[in-house]
A and B are shown apart, each in its own frame.
Chain A
Amino acid sequence: MSERRGGALWGAALRRLRANRPACLALALLLGVALLALLAPLASPWAYDSLDWRHLAQPPALGAAHWFGTDRLGRDLFVRTLHGVRLSLLISVLASVLSVGIGLAWGTIAGFAGGRLDEWMMRFVDVLYSLPYLFLVIVLNTLVGRGSIAVLLLGVAAVGWLTTARIVRGQTLQLKRREFIEAARATGLPTRAILLRHIVPNLAGTVAVYATLTVPQMILFESFLSFLGLGVQEPHASLGNLINAGAQEMESAPWMLLVPAVFLVLLLVCLNLLGDGLRDALDPRES
């Protein structure tokens, strides 16, 4: 496949995205936070688990040893929060890729095959939908052991792909009836090639948008699990367990809740704005 595939469409989409101020601002902020999360722990003298006995439960102050303050054990909140952002972003992006990948494959196959196979595949999705996912994660946790990031990833992805599969199947059903798919069959393309060369590239816009909107959902879900104690475990930090720890000190040390909460809200708002911007930009009817 050539590099230029869809070039014109993506080019036009990029132009439209650039005209969308909030989305651009969100993208810049996101890149900034991600960069900070990658580099700042290196720049700071503190590690995410090093204790500073002289500064226990310090409130944030400019020019102080700990900008964002410390927790009860004297751990630097700035470093811990950025460490948490890094872990949350990593888990959510991986989980999004995984869930979108599974959902894409499942949805295209079901939609393109149609008939009985479609029926069975989608009923399976319905059954999984009706399972209490929290229960699923708890079972996985007890089986594999608490705090395993792989388990967390699987648990989060297992929930995410169901919606993707439904959306992709609907799109595939529409695409399948288009004349260019019939033209591909008349040319003599095998089914697999029709799927890979004609169906999937035409789904790319929808899927790209959905993936961007999945990441914040995943962050939220990961935080939720960690908040409940099912996710990332101490001494590792994620936005979820930081907020959990902060919530317990809400009255005596509110910064311990506020700092990770502000970062969480920032990430979520930025990702949602970007996703909305992408959706508008990739819709060719928006000229």
Chain B
Amino acid sequence: MRSIPVSPEAGGGGAVLELERLAVTFATAGGEVSAATDVTLAVAGGECLGVVGESGAGKSQTFLAALGLLAANGRVRGSARFQGGELLGLAPAALDRVRGARIGVVFQDPLTSLTPHLTVGAQLTEVLRHHLQLTAAAARRRALTLLERVQLSDAQRRLGQYPHELSGGMRQRVMIAIAIACGPALLIADEPTTALDVTVQAQILRLLAELKRERAMAMVLITHDLGAVAGIADRVAVMRAGRLIETGPVASVLGAPREPYTRELLRSVAPVSAPASAPVAAAPVALALEEVSVAYPLRGGWLRRAATLRALSGVTLELAAGEALGVVGESGGGKSTLARAVLALLPLAAGRVVWLGRSLGTLTPRELRAARAGLQMVFQDPLGSLDPRMTVEEIVGEPLAVHRPGLEPAARRAAIATMLERVELGTSLLGRYPHELSGGQCQRVGIARAMILEPRLLVCDEPLSALDGPTQRQILALLAGLRRESALTLLFVSHNLALVRQLCERVLVLYLGRMMELGGTEQLYREPRHPYTQELIAAVPVADPAIQPARLARARPGEPPSPLAPPSGCVYRTRCPYAVARCAEQVPAWETVAEGGAGIACHRWRELSGA
């Protein structure tokens, strides 16, 4: 594979990339801002260095600077040597011969880093022909081999497809294929799994680890996910506010961290046991879903038939007052649709949602608006869910203006101030606009808006997925606190199983819009019955280098099929290792397996758990 001449010191254990006192600064209107200071580190061939830290810690900028990929207002000082040669100050043409050929890069968002109007094959062969001067036919053959190597299913057909026709995981495989196309000595992966589902994350990380071993590449894995680092890194570098604060072998840094900050990062991903289960049976039923289905009509084009996307089919469950239910599953599973269906924010195709004995579907628009005072929601995008032209005071006060128009201005201001205190925000923020706040502050404002009317039900749609580890932990603690204070019923949608475990008493697992399993959190996490739940839980990254590599090695292949054409019978059967003929013929019925509404939809769960 290696047709590029490689300097002798690159093979084996010598340092492939050496950064020495690297500093990155940006010239902004407010003066010079430092992104990285005094970063000195080295990566050897065949070694994976994990670079961790919160967003804004300067992880990415350090390596972008070394590659000459800084924004126009950026400046870099110090030294970055690749295979003994200095990269900084290299002429663009010389740099181009190194980048993409001897150094491969994989970015976070595979959709924006692939060109939308070129096929996968065209983008892959372009790299091969440019750097290796292959003929068109040879480049195409090589491209096919590469796509097969990165385990892209149906590789031959993928060559002719456009990026938007592939799923996120497939696109990331294509990016990796492009990055390794010329047999690089160094692969830099910048948050390669952040935008992906947990199951796909595990597959991609496993692939990266395999590639590193088989090609003896040096690898830099930039991530905020300590689980990913524990799985494939040999050494770890912890960055904070632009400085390298701790470096060492993965086992010692994650096992016995020296710096308090590293300990704090580790704490934010440590598995915490579930909250003590409240006596659920005693509380009355607050929310009931009966055979709820949601379908999105898709408009056909001129010669295309209109299709229907069944986002949710036959969801039936009951929530007791004060209970917290977590909803988990991969993207496309119908989690967000369920959240919106519960709040009657979208029309149901069938079934009904009963809140405190009243079916929301039978209310008049006016009654429904009035009922919304008791049903509130926290959104995924902390900034996007706040009106950019309103101040914090106006945003938090809006529900009061709608539902209690008679409130005196002074009383209203007092209520807003109290609410801000409850979400641990200072009243100095009252006059600020959303874009002046951090992501965590925005999400607190969103929670304050949802909580100011003291709702009985709070639906949270991925409220933490846009936030950093430590911030996630703070917001989670805030939600747990609010729940204790105000006997809130909580529907908590998340793809992060570890977070759900810390907050919820029961968990519902959705796959392609169908209920797979429902059960008490501890039971579900300890002994998952459904094969899909087992897969999800096996894929949760654990920040322990002693066990995580072995867990990654067991990651199952496969991604959800298109919800437009779900498989017959049991929808999960195409990925299920235990599928038999019956699974393709018959839709498994929902079976209640224990008290408190625990249930499962699987033909074989009894024999599987018996074995």
Contacts and interface: CB of A to CB of B under 8 A. Distances in A.
Given A187-B402, A189-B402, A8 B449 contact: no
B379 A187 contact: no
Contacts, number: 73
A201 interface: yes
A8 B433 contact: yes
Q: Which of A9, A179, A183, A198 has the most CB of B within 10 A?
A: A183
A183 B449 contact: yes
A54 interface: no
Contact of B394 (A5, A9, A179, A182): A5
Nearest to B368: A188
Given A5-B394, A8-B433, A287-B29, A186 B377 contact: yes
A201 B391 CA distance: 13
B376 A187 contact: yes
Contacts of B371: 188
A63 interface: no
A180 B385 CA distance: 4
A132 interface: no
Interface residues of B, number: 33
A202 interface: yes
B451 to A, nearest CB: 12
Contact of B372 (A2, A5, A178, A188): A188
28 contacts: A4-B391, A5-B390, A8-B433, A9-B433, A178-B384, A179-B380, A179-B381, A179-B385, A180-B384, A180-B386, A182-B385, A183-B386, A183-B446, A186-B376, A187-B372, A187-B398, A187-B402, A187-B449, A188-B371, A188-B372, A188-B402, A188-B403, A189-B369, A189-B402, A190-B369, A198-B387, A202-B387, A204-B389
A198 B434 CA distance: 14
A9 B345 contact: no
Contacts of B399: 187-188
Contacts of A193: 402
A107 B402 CA distance: 25
A32 interface: no
A128 B373 CA distance: 44
B414 interface: no
Contacts of A201: 387, 389
Interface in A78-103: none
Nearest to A181: B387
A5 B389 contact: yes
A114 interface: no
B442 to A, nearest CB: 11
A221 to B, nearest CB: 32
Nearest to A204: B389
Contacts of B389: 5-6, 9, 201-202, 204
Interface of A is mostly: helix
Q: Which of B377, B398, B436 has the most CB of A within 10 A?
A: B398
A190 B391 CA distance: 21
Interface in A146-185: 178-180, 182-185
B431 interface: yes
The 8 closest A-B pairs by CB, nearest first: A188-B372, A179-B385, A188-B369, A179-B384, A186-B377, A6-B389, A180-B387, A201-B389
A205 B446 CA distance: 25
Interface string A194-230: 0001100110100000000000000000000000000
Nearest to B369: A188
B370 interface: yes
A6 B435 CA distance: 12
B343 interface: yes
Interface in B356-372: 368-372
Interface in B111-166: none
B275 interface: no
A4 B343 CA distance: 32
A245 B352 CA distance: 75
Nearest to A189: B402
Contacts of B446: 183
Contacts of B388: 9, 180, 202
A185 B385 CA distance: 11
Given A186-B343, A187-B398, A187-B402, A8 B377 contact: no
A179 B462 CA distance: 13
Contacts of B381: 179
B343 A188 contact: no
Interface string B259-270: 000000000000
Nearest to A5: B389
Interface residues of A, number: 25
A2 B416 CA distance: 16
Interface of B: 29, 343, 345, 368-373, 375-377, 379-381, 384-391, 394, 398-399, 402-403, 431, 433, 436, 446, 449
Interface of A: 2, 4-6, 8-9, 178-180, 182-190, 193, 197-198, 201-202, 204, 287
A185 B340 CA distance: 11
Contacts of A179: 379-381, 384-385
B455 to A, nearest CB: 10
A171 B386 CA distance: 18
Contacts of A202: 387-389
Contacts of A5: 389-391, 394
A99 B394 CA distance: 31
A225 to B, nearest CB: 38
Given A186-B343, A188-B403, 13 more contacts: A4-B391, A5-B389, A9-B433, A180-B384, A183-B377, A184-B387, A187-B372, A187-B376, A188-B368, A188-B371, A188-B402, A189-B398, A193-B402
Given A180-B386, A202-B387, A287-B29, A186 B402 contact: no
A287 to B, nearest CB: 7
A4 B376 CA distance: 27
A201 B390 CA distance: 9
B396 to A, nearest CB: 11
B420 to A, nearest CB: 17
Contacts of B387: 180, 184, 197-198, 201-202
Contacts of B391: 2, 4-5
B369 to A, nearest CB: 4
Nearest to B446: A183
B431 A4 contact: yes
A287 B73 CA distance: 13
B402 A185 contact: no
A188 B433 contact: no
Nearest to B398: A187
A92 B241 CA distance: 56
A186 B457 CA distance: 12
Contacts of A4: 391, 431
Nearest to A6: B389
A197 B398 CA distance: 10
Contacts of A186: 343, 345, 372, 375-377
Given A179-B379, A179-B380, A201-B389, A188 B449 contact: no
A8 B390 CA distance: 10
A182 B387 CA distance: 11
A183 B385 contact: yes
Q: Which of B372, B387, B394 has the most CB of A within 10 A?
A: B387
A163 B402 CA distance: 34
A187 B403 CA distance: 9
Contacts of B343: 186
A266 B431 CA distance: 42
A6 B369 CA distance: 27
Contacts of B433: 8-9
B368 to A, nearest CB: 8
A231 to B, nearest CB: 39
A5 B343 CA distance: 29
Nearest to B375: A186
A184 B403 CA distance: 12
A2 B394 contact: yes
A106 B34 CA distance: 49
A188 B385 contact: no
A8 to B, nearest CB: 5
A184 B385 CA distance: 9
